[in-house]
Amino acid sequence: MKLGLGIVLIAIIVSAGTIIGLSLLPLPSPNQLVGEADVQIVKGGTTVDLDFESLVDMTPTSGDSSSQNRFQNWRDAGTYVGVTLSSLVELVGGMDENDVVRVNAIDGWIQYYAYYNLYPNTSFTTIQGNLILAYSFNDTTPTTWGDGPRTVFIPTDGAFSNDDANQTTHPAWYFGSAGARWVKNVASIEVIEDVYIGGSFHVKVIEGTDEQDVYLVDLALMNNLEAFTAYQKSGGNWGGNGTYRGVLLSALVELVTTIHDNDIVNVTASDGWTQSFAHYNLYPNASVHALQGDLILAYVYNGTMVPAWADGPRLAFLAPDGSYSNSDANQTTNPTWFSSASARWVKNVATIEIIRDSFPP
């Protein structure tokens, strides 16, 4: 077991979380897997390194399995031997139902698994079987098996179909393929605490014909900001006082594209209310930031999360002084869009759409 400052810093980044593009741990090179199969198991400040011999010494789980790809073809049929992922995470303290396990491959491929994937109930056991880290395929090992070590589902019928994956995968993590849930050349397995949010509620980020669904669990896994703030109504009264937690609107846009000074971002509520935001609202300079602060999509208000929070997810300006006034809004909003500070806080956000080359309106 290895502990140290470097590992602690890695764990802080893990707890912040992200959806794409961030390598959280130093990944071994492919030649390290040949004959060694080093895999890191991480939770908080604790890391356990396992070589091939360490995996073999653990209680083995085996079975026949195969996976279906997005074209409905079957792949990788054979006999797998390995160790359950639940046994591996228990080496670093285990997980509970609010945690998520992130598996990182050497090539950067990532898959997330929920508690019920590692600890399946009776119905999940029938559909997906045990989730294992396989170190042997048809009597080969990582020395001669180019895909190992690999995460593998072993359902009772020996065939992990797209329908099986759809039934046992959070909708945020299912992309139409059972095979995508099998991570080959695994480098690390991380337990990320207190980020799991179930359910199918999501917000769409749109650019042209491209759409990406962002679920609450996605928001929890991204870098979160939290602060007290409030907005001023058109009559001068104040509302919305409280602590908001959420993700930068700019970070959500960046999931699909990069915007420029002459682009607009339209945010629309489920009831059709729409507000437009300029590049400087999402990427404020010092003077704009002093007035409006960071612009976030909040999904938690005073400790209450969507859907229990009826107004969320909601846009919120985290003004540095804790109060987003009509004067603040007037100075940071294009005149054609301004009516009041409160009008800028779109509640029950349904879509975030990038409109190119439309600023100024």
Name the nearest CA neighbour of 220 among 252, 184, 194, 256.
194
In whole angstroms, give the CA distance from residue 249 to residue 297: 6
Same fold, 5-192 and 202-355: yes
Mean pLDDT, rounded, for 210-215: 96
Question: Global pTM?
Answer: 0.87
Decide if pLDDT at 96 tops 70: yes
pLDDT in tens, 100-134: 999 999 999 999 999 999 999 999 999 999 999 99
Give CATH for domain 5-192.
Answer: 3.90.420
91-to-58, 191, 291 alpha-carbon distances in Å: 11, 11, 48
- The topology (CATH level 3) of 202-355 is Sulfite Oxidase; Chain A, domain 2 (3.90.420)
Query: In 64-73, which positions are buried (b, 16+ CB within 10 angstroms) versus exposed (e)?
Result: ebbbbeeeee
User: What are the residue boundaries of the structural domains of the chain, listed by start?
Assistant: 5-192, 202-355
Q: What digits encode the pLDDT tens for the residues 272-326?
A: 999 999 999 999 999 999 999 999 999 999 999 999 999 999 999 999 999 999 9
Amino acid at 40: Q
Q: Which residues does 45 contact at the CB level (< 8 Å), separation at least 6?
A: 3, 7, 8, 11
25-46: average pLDDT: 64
Local confidence band at 143 (pLDDT 50, 70, 90 cut-offs): confident
pLDDT digits (tens, 9 = 90+) for 155-184: 999 999 999 999 999 999 999 999 999 999
How far CA 280 is from CA of 16, 186, 283, in Å, comes to 25, 41, 5
